[in-house]
């Protein structure tokens, strides 16, 4: 890659100059993993340093998962020098630690990392035959590896190895232990489990297993100590031998405390380690021994997150787990973070908890990213980090609600999918007073397909009694939080997007006052306008109704203003709690010429679908043969490509131009040039 390369910015605003990148004479010679075998030990060490410099320079420019990848440079080199990908399968748990793997498998242009047309931030089968698991949800790699190993055995491919790299907190997830239980029951597999033990997930890893591994890190001389004691006692004759026999009887118990070999071998899985994860020779030796073993083996590797980059090493919060654009020399952000949705949640939740001793926060290894850190700092006994265990988090919350507390479970929206059964059967069925905060709801874009929080409204609408708020600005977010934690007989959900807050969107008036807060629908714009052509089969009465759900209210309001300027009668509304559909919204829809619902979630089964069904049901119940058409703009039922949020919104006709074009078509207005890309359904 030329040092004077210019690329288009993620915001599409034209070329963005690329700063001078460090020279990579060794890395540029690596086009496939096999090329690593031609390097000497000294060259491998130099290559590791090259890779770190390149990661810092490129990720600083684009943003991404920096700390985890700096920590696995030597480990990834050793994996590819020991095993033969793709003949041998390497599975990365979570996937955010696969940047080095990408560099070693022919993907060395990181100029558009995590951008449309560039290298994705997680493994991708479309990019390389060396990538296997694209899902970036944690604790799944061992199950994948077990399945691949079993299939290889059934098809006579017993000489192929499977390597599962798990760590960064993923062993706190219960699914990993379900897999270990099954792996231990089948000893005919060439399966190597690499535990990348850096003591952290986003923040320091929480839980009993984490403390167990911590104990090992502080006791690497256990076997040497035991051998020394044995030699000393046996040299002292009969009394010494008697003492040794007594101590030998304690060996098993002591080993359980100090060394996890017993911990894992009790499951029937061979254990080796700990291995210095930054010593290439030691790593290759341990992995070679594991490769030659004909049964499942755990290789315990100790790594340092953020290794080799001083700002990351000195960051106590998350060792630069994920960063935006930063100055590579200092690690400081290029553009300071603006006051965002998560910051409002953090401040408001702390204030609510100070006033209500029943409120307790629960997080799944993401205390800081979801805004619980201020509460944990001020009231540490009121925040529980369960590790990467969303299922446990929700059922634990149901138990706490039963016992008189009000748990607030804060998650990224995408991770709630893993605990839907618990929301339905433990929280919903038992009408538990649990509040769920869904950070990064809707389209997140650059984090890839599995990180988009687009499924929640369609999923959660199936839970009887559950109420979901979709605030549109800071004021409605604070209001929704206050209401949610006051509900003790049903689950409440508050969803909000990633990023900075919009300008305030005040209501002109509120409809549904008799059913406040859950039935409230805020009217943001009313423009009588002139007559517009009716849609098929609908009486020519009333304005268009634009329903902007949550974060889509701002663009819907802008589209409404543009329609009003053309003389088209329009009303723009924002339901505070769109799930279930407020009765007032149904009545407003029935009075309108046509309805367009814009939502930052799955269009099939989402709020628009629910409103359409409610309008039709109400009309049929009243014996009315006609009713307005309810058109919907939302995220299609597909796995989204890596792109920015704005790019994806434009693709789906959910930006200002797309909403305006869809509304004009709904009103029967003639199409204008350049407005045909919106796809309202």
Q: Indicate whether 439 pLDDT > 60.
A: yes
Identical topology for domains 27-314 and 513-532+540-667? yes
Total-model pTM:
0.83
* 101 vs 75: CA distance, rounded Å: 10
* DSSP code of residue 230: H
> If you average pLDDT over residues 634-649, what whole number do you get?
90
Q: What is the mean pLDDT of residues 237-249?
A: 54
Q: How confident is the model at residue 559 (pLDDT cuts 50, 70, 90)?
A: very high
d(CA 466, CA 410): 16
Residue 230 has a pLDDT of 56
Q: Hey, what CATH class is 513-532+540-667 in? A: alpha beta
**Per-residue confidence band for 219, with pLDDT thresholds at 50, 70 and 90:** very low
pLDDT digits (tens, 9 = 90+) for 292-321: 888 899 999 999 888 888 888 887 777 878
Query: Residue 256's pLDDT is what?
Result: 40
CB 73 within 8 A of CB 52: yes
Confidence (pLDDT) at 174: 82
591 belongs to an annotated ligand binding site: no
Q: How far apart are CA 315 and CA 321, in angstroms?
A: 10
The SS3 call for residue 480 is helix
- Average pLDDT in the 329-333 region? 81
Q: Kindly list the domain boundaries of the chain, sorted by start residue.
A: 27-314, 340-495, 513-532+540-667
Q: What integer is the mean pLDDT of 27-52?
A: 93
Q: What is the pLDDT of residue 11?
A: 37
Q: What one-character-per-residue DSSP string does 113-158 give?
A: TTSTTS--SS--TTT-TT-------SS-HHHHHHHHHHHHHHTT-T
pLDDT bracket for residue 100 (50, 70, 90) = very high
Is residue 553 annotated as involved in ligand binding?
no
Answer whether the bond into residue 631 is a cis peptide, omega within 30°.
Answer: no
User: What 3-state class would DSSP assign to 606?
Assistant: coil
Among 525, 679, 523, 681, CA closest to 606: 681
Select which of 390, 474, 599, 647 is catalytic.
Answer: 390
Counting residues of the chain whose pLDDT is more than 70, the rounded percentage is: 83
pLDDT band at 240 (very low <50, low <70, confident <90, very high): low
Residue 456 near residue 413 (C-beta atoms within 8 A): yes
* 50 appears as a binding residue in the annotation: no
Q: b or e along 30-46 (b: 16 or more beta carbons within 10 Å of the residue's beta carbon)?
A: beebeebeebeeeebee
Q: Which of 133-147, 262-276, 407-421, 547-561 has the lowest mean pLDDT?
A: 262-276
Q: Which CATH superfamily is domain 340-495 in?
A: Thiamin diphosphate (ThDP)-binding fold, Pyr/PP domains (3.40.50.970)
Q: How far is the C-alpha of 72 from the C-alpha of 80, rounded, in Å?
A: 12
Rounded Cα distance between 175 and 182, Å, is 11
Q: Does 96 count as an annotated binding residue?
A: yes
Residues 493, 576: Cα–Cα separation, whole Å: 12
Q: What are the tens digits of pLDDT across the range 160-215?
A: 999 999 986 777 788 888 888 888 887 667 899 999 988 654 444 444 444 444 44
* The pLDDT of residue 249 is above 70: no
Look at residues 559, 622, 553 and name the one whose alpha carbon lies nearest to residue 586. Answer: 622
Tokens of 181: 């239980």
637: left (phi over 0), alpha (psi -120 to 50) or beta: beta
Q: What is the distance of C-alpha 106 from the center of its chain? A: 26
Band (399; pLDDT cuts 50, 70, 90): very high
pLDDT higher than threshold 70 for residue 585: yes
Q: Is 127 annotated as a binding residue?
A: no
Q: Express each pLDDT in 102-156 by its tens digit.
A: 999 999 998 888 989 888 888 888 999 999 988 778 888 899 899 999 998 888 8
309 is in an annotated binding site: yes
Q: Which of 200, 418, 593, 645 is catalytic?
A: 418
pLDDT above 70: residue 537 = no
Residue tagged active-site, from 160, 305, 382, 664? 305
Give the chain's mean pLDDT: 84
Residues whose CB falls within 8 Å of the CB of residue 299, separated by 6 or more in sequence, listed in order: 192, 193, 194, 195, 272, 273, 275, 286, 287, 290
Is 170 labelled a binding residue? yes
Strand ranges (DSSP E) for 337-416?
Answer: 359-363, 383-385, 406-412
Mean pLDDT of 18-24: 71
Which of the four pLDDT bands, split at 50, 70 and 90, describes residue 608? very high
Tell me whether residue 135 is annotated as binding. Answer: no
Q: With cut-offs at 50, 70 and 90, classify the pLDDT of residue 524.
A: very high
For residue 205, the model assigns a pLDDT of 46
Look-up: residue for tokens 């810092």?
56
State yes or no: cis peptide before 543, omega within 30 of 0: no
pLDDT of residue 421 exceeding 90, the answer is yes
- Omega before 580 cis (within 30°)? yes
Q: Is 136 annotated as a binding residue?
A: yes
pLDDT band at 530 (very low <50, low <70, confident <90, very high): low
Distance CA(138)–CA(136), nearest Å, equals 6
677 counts as catalytic:
no
pLDDT of residue 182: 87
- Going by pLDDT thresholds of 50, 70 and 90, the confidence category of residue 463 is very high
Q: State the pLDDT confidence band at 353, using cuts at 50, 70 and 90.
A: very high
Half-sphere exposure in the Cβ direction for 50 (13 Å, CA): 18
Residue of 517 and 294 predicted with greater confidence = 517
Report the run of H or E that residue 544 belongs to, with start and end.
Answer: strand 544-548
pLDDT the model gives residue 271: 87
Q: Residue 32 above 90 pLDDT? A: yes
Catalytic (active site) residue 418: yes
CB 46 within 8 A of CB 23: no
Q: 583-590 and 607-621 are packed helices; what angle lies between their axes, rounded to 10 degrees?
A: 70
CA 218 to chain centre: 32
Tokens 């001083």, located at residue: 310
As a whole number of angstroms, the distance between CA 4 and CA 415 comes to: 40
Query: Which pLDDT belongs to residue 234?
Result: 59
Is 313 annotated in the active site? Answer: no
* DSSP-assigned states of every residue in 396-453: HHHHHHHTT-EEEEEEEHHHHGGGHHIIIIIIITTT---EEEEETBB---TT-GGG-B
Distances (CA, A) of 515 to 466, 483, 602: 16, 13, 27
Instruction: Give residue 538's pLDDT.
Output: 40
Strand ranges for 594-675 from DSSP E: 594-602, 629-635
Question: 228 a known binding residue?
Answer: no
The confidence score (pLDDT) of residue 513 equals 76
The pLDDT tens digits for 406-415 are 999 999 999 9
Domain 27-314 CATH superfamily = Thiamin diphosphate (ThDP)-binding fold, Pyr/PP domains (3.40.50.970)
């Amino acid at each position: 890659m030329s040092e004077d390369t210019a690329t288009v910015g993620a915001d599409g605003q034209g070329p963005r100059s690329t700063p001078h990148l460090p020279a990579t004479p060794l890395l540029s010679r690596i086009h496939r993993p096999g090329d690593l075998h031609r390097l000497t030990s000294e060259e491998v060490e130099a290559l590791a340093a090259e890779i770190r410099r390149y990661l810092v320079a490129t990720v600083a420019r684009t943003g991404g998962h920096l700390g985890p990848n700096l920590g696995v440079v030597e480990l990834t080199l050793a994996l590819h020098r020991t095993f033969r990908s793709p003949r041998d399968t390497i599975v990365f748990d979570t996937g955010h630690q696969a940047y080095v793997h990408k560099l070693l498998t022919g993907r060395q242009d990181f100029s558009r990392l995590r951008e449309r047309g560039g290298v994705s931030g997680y493994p991708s089968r479309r990019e390389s035959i060396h990538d296997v698991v694209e899902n970036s949800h944690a604790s799944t790699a061992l199950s994948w590896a077990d399945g691949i190993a079993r299939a290889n055995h059934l098809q006579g491919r017993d000489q192929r190895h499977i390597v599962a790299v798990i760590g960064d907190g993923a062993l706190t997830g219960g699914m990993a232990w379900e897999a270990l239980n099954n792996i231990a029951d089948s000893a005919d597999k060439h399966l190597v489990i690499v535990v990348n033990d850096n003591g952290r997930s986003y923040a320091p890893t929480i839980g009993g297993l984490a403390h167990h591994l911590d104990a090992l890190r502080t006791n690497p001389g256990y076997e040497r100590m035991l051998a020394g004691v044995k030699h000393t006692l046996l040299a002292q004759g009969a009394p010494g031998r008697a003492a040794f026999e007594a101590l030998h009887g304690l060996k098993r118990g002591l080993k359980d405390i100090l060394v996890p070999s017993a911990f894992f071998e009790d499951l029937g899985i061979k254990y080796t380690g700990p291995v210095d994860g930054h010593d290439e020779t030691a790593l290759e030796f341990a992995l070679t021994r594991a490769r030659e073993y004909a049964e499942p083996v755990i290789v315990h590797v100790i790594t340092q997150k953020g290794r080799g980059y001083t700002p990351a090493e000195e960051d106590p919060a998350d060792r630069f787990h994920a960063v935006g654009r930063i100055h590579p020399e200092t690690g400081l952000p290029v553009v300071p973070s603006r006051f965002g949705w998560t910051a409002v949640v953090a401040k408001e939740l702390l204030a609510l908890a100070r006033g209500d001793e029943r409120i307790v926060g629960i997080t799944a290894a993401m205390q800081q990213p979801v805004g619980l850190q201020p509460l944990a700092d001020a009231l540490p006994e009121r925040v529980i980090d369960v590790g990467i265990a969303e299922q446990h988090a929700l059922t634990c919350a149901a138990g706490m609600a039963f016992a008189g507390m009000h748990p607030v479970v804060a998650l990224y929206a995408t991770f709630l999918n893993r605990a839907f059964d618990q929301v339905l059967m433990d929280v919903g069925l038992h009408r538990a007073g649990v509040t769920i905060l869904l950070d990064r709801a809707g389209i997140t874009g650059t984090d890839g397909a599995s990180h988009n929080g687009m499924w929640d409204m369609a999923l959660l609408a199936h839970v009887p009694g559950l109420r979901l708020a979709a605030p549109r600005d800071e004021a409605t977010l604070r209001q929704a939080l206050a209401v949610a934690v006051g509900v003790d007989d049903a689950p409440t959900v508050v969803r909000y997007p990633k990023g900075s807050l919009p300008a305030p969107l005040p209501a002109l008036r509120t409809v549904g006052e008799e059913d406040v807060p859950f039935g409230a629908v805020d009217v943001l714009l009313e423009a009588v306008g002139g007559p517009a052509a009716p849609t098929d089969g609908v009486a020519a009465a009333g304005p268009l109704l634009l329903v902007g759900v949550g974060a889509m209210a701002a663009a819907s309001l802008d589209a409404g203003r543009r329609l009003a300027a053309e003389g088209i009668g329009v009303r723009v509304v924002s339901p505070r709690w769109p799930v279930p559909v407020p009765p007032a919204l149904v009545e407003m829809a029935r009075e309108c010429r046509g309805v367009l619902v814009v939502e930052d979630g799955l269009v099939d089964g989402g709020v628009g679908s629910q409103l359409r069904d409610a309008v039709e049901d109400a009309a049929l119940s009243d014996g009315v043969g006609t009713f307005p058409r309810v058109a919907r703009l939302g995220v299609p039922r597909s796995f989204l490509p890596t792109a920015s949020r704005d790019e994806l919104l434009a693709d789906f006709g959910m930006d200002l131009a797309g909403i305006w074009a869809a509304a004009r078509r709904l009103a029967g207005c003639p199409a204008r040039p350049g407005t045909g890309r919106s796809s309202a359904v």
